[in-house]
Structures are given as C-alpha cells and as structure tokens.
Amino acid sequence: MVEYRCSNCQRIITIDDIGSKAKCPHCSNRVLIKLRPKIVKKVQAR
C-alpha cells in the first residue's frame, strides 16, 4: 500500500483515501510526501 504524509497537517494518507487525486482530504493541501513501504530491516548491533 502506498502511503503519503501531508506536508501541512502531517497526517498519514493512504492512496485509498485520496483516490487519484493527490490532495489531502483533511486540509486540502496538495503537497504530499510519499512514504517508503514498511520494510523492517534487521540490523545486528554489535
């Protein structure tokens, strides 16, 4: 799932929330920051 974060209200928005419109449904801000997929890397601490 692709997630975005609104640069104005900092809310996490999924592509399902906005559909094809790149616009924040909460504050109508159009500057959305695309988040990386949630990949948890295991880093061994030495």
CB of 6 vs Zn ion, minimal distance in Å: 3
For residue 6, say whether it is annotated as part of any ligand binding site: no
Provide the binding-site residues for Zn ion, judged by CB under 5 A.
Answer: 6, 8-9, 24, 26-27, 29
Nearer to Zn ion, 8 or 35 (CB): 8
Determine whether the annotation assigns residue 24 to a binding site.
Answer: yes
Other CB atoms within 10 Å distance of the CB of residue 6:
21
Tell me the three state secondary structure of residue 17.
Answer: helix
Per-residue tokens: 46? 């030495």
Please count the residues of the chain: 46
Binding residues: 9, 24, 27
